[in-house]
Amino acid sequence: MFSILFVLISRTPLFLLRAISLIFYTIATYKNVSHLKITEKNINHCFGENKNLVRESFRETIELALIFPFVWGKKDNYKKLVDPDYLKLKSLDNGRPKIFFTLHMGCVDILIFVLSELLEQANFLYTPVKNKNLDQKLLDIRQRQGGSMFPATPNGVKNLYKSFIDKSNIVIASDLVPHKRGVYEKFFNKECFCIDLVEKLSSKETHDLHFIYLTKGKKNKYKLVCKKIGNKITTLEMNKLFEEAILTAPELYYWEYKKFKKQRNTSSSIY
């Protein structure tokens, strides 16, 4: 069932998908769904009241719900959504092991497909979905170009670390809130509980370190940005890079996630 749905969406012209998403956006806004409420609270918490950004961000969220199956359903569809200058990054595959860290801006699965295309080998940390059949289907799709996926579970992180020790390339979306282990740091000058895995791994100085993300494109919907960072980075420095990336296109960030859900004082939750 999922395969048929993904294929149908993948064959739909992008302009039509955007029109359909606008209808869904109108309905969801009218019903004031929970994702819209969370988006508004996060944006207001970081920037102050900004109704235009809330609307733009939520429209992107609704459109993204169709963009993901669009790239899942057909192998090369991701190339229709990202500016072609990403191909200049083929020089990344220089034989040295690398850590790529990223954040949830736009369709992050495009990063999986792009890096799987550019690198001979890459290992990705991902969050499994609750539906086991869907999770297996997505796992097959995400690995179809040669990348390897590790679930964001204790065993998955342990196996990712083993691949790190073996000098493999690893890719981590490190802007989510950790389940247990992490540190409190500033994000847009607001304290939040953060993943410090990139800081710990980069301190080993065994891998080149790169920050990679999607922002607003010039020709297509997205543009790929990849920056080489010094060999070591702190979690606060990582958050500052996230802030710089978000400010290039704040509507593309994943504001519907409860970024500030784990506070030192549980009574201070913004949700």
Instruction: Give the three-state DSSP class for 112.
Output: helix
Mean pLDDT across the chain, nearest whole number? 94
Closest CA to 164 of 212, 205, 104, 214: 205
Read off the pLDDT of residues 75-116 as tens digits, 9 standing for 90 and up.
Answer: 999 999 999 999 988 888 888 899 999 999 999 999 999 999
Q: pTM of this prediction?
A: 0.94
pLDDT tens digits, residue range 241-257?
999 999 999 999 999 99
Domain ranges for the chain: 2-73, 77-252
Close Cβ partners of 120 (under 8 Å, ≥ 6 residues apart): 93, 146
Taking only the tens place, the pLDDT of each residue in 156-199 is 889 999 999 999 999 999 999 998 889 999 999 999 999 999 99
